[in-house]
Amino acid sequence: PPIRIAPSLLSADFAHLADDLAQVEAGGADALHLDVMDGHFVPNITLGPLIVKAVRRCTSLPIEAHLMVEHPGDFIADFAQAGADLIVVHVEGNWSVHRLLQEIKGAGVRAGVSLNPMTPVGHLEEMLPFVDTVLVMTVEPGFGGQSFIPTMYDKVARLRQLADSRGFPGLDIAVDGGVDRETAGSLVEAGATTLIAGTAVFASGESLPDAIATLRRAVSLGPT
Ligand code: DX5
Ligand code: ZN
């Protein structure tokens, strides 16, 4: 399948967000990843529906909201109305994931689940029939610019095996955290199909289109 690249706006220039959005869109980004943090689920506060709505007005790319908040169910309607195309909720701390996924789909939005680095792949087993995407955190959620956790290559490979063995060979597996030119090739080799990247797109030293091209080249060259 084609590999999707989703720049994570956490590392964008929020004072010139429209410029950054135009550049990643011109550079061939496949989607925009927006990290929603509430200071409770993770020790950081970022953005909410207001920013999703503002981004919606300046791009036609799909908007993917990654909810790192307590009680995500309270905000699904808000993010759907703001223009999110995909809403991803974490399995951690949520006892009723099926209900959350139903609510997301009921709002007319694609639904995904995310796993923290230390949450086992098996935790997803019952969820596979109900999700459009699985997001594997490859750093602890909360901040951009952290180092990739090397055991996550194997975790992605085991998730791909689980999806294949359960009859979901087309499952979209997104990886988030420390994805860059060094890690991207091996992640795709392990079975990732969506690369979420903040630092590697917005703070690489290259122009934003060049940074996206660098990631695509790293994937086509394979593991480093
Ligand atoms: C972290 C967020 C990521 C973050 C990744 O909690 O979920 O989306 O932006 O940043 P980098 O690519 O810099 O590791
Ligand atoms: Zn994220």
Measured from the CB, is residue 90 less than 6 Å from ligand 1?
Answer: no
19 is catalytic: no
Ligand nearest to the CA of 184: 1
Rounded to whole angstroms, the Cα distance separating 52 from 78 reads 10
Q: Is residue 28 very low, low, confident or very high in pLDDT (cuts 50, 70, 90)?
A: very high
Q: Residue 86 corresponds to which tokens in the numbers above?
A: 């995909």
pLDDT tens readout for residues 167-185 = 999 999 999 999 999 999 9
**C-alpha distances in Å from residue 117, one per residue of 41, 73, 148, 210:** 14, 22, 10, 29
Q: Is residue 224 very low, low, confident or very high in pLDDT (cuts 50, 70, 90)?
A: confident
Measured from the CB, is residue 27 less than 6 Å from ligand 1?
Answer: no
Rounded to whole angstroms, the Cα distance separating 185 from 196 reads 13
Q: Choose among 88, 197, 80: nearest CA to 134.
A: 88
Residue from 20, 172, 176, 180 carrying the catalytic annotation: 176
132 is catalytic: no
Q: Is residue 41 very low, low, confident or very high in pLDDT (cuts 50, 70, 90)?
A: very high
Q: Does the pLDDT at position 59 exceed 80?
A: yes
Measured from the CB, is residue 7 less than 6 Å from ligand 1?
Answer: no
| Whole-prediction pTM | 0.98
Rounded to whole angstroms, the Cα distance separating 157 from 194 reads 14
Measured from the CB, is residue 59 less than 6 Å from ligand 1?
Answer: no
Q: Choose among 36, 35, 27: nearest CA to 5.
A: 27
Q: Does the pLDDT at position 1 exceed 80?
A: no
Pocket test for ligand 1, best of 139, 152, 214 (most atoms within 8 A of CB): 139
Ligand nearest to the CA of 204: 1
Rounded to whole angstroms, the Cα distance separating 183 from 122 reads 24
Indicate which atom in ligand 1 lies nearest the CA of residue 198.
12
Residue from 20, 35, 172, 180 carrying the catalytic annotation: 35
- pLDDT of 188: 98
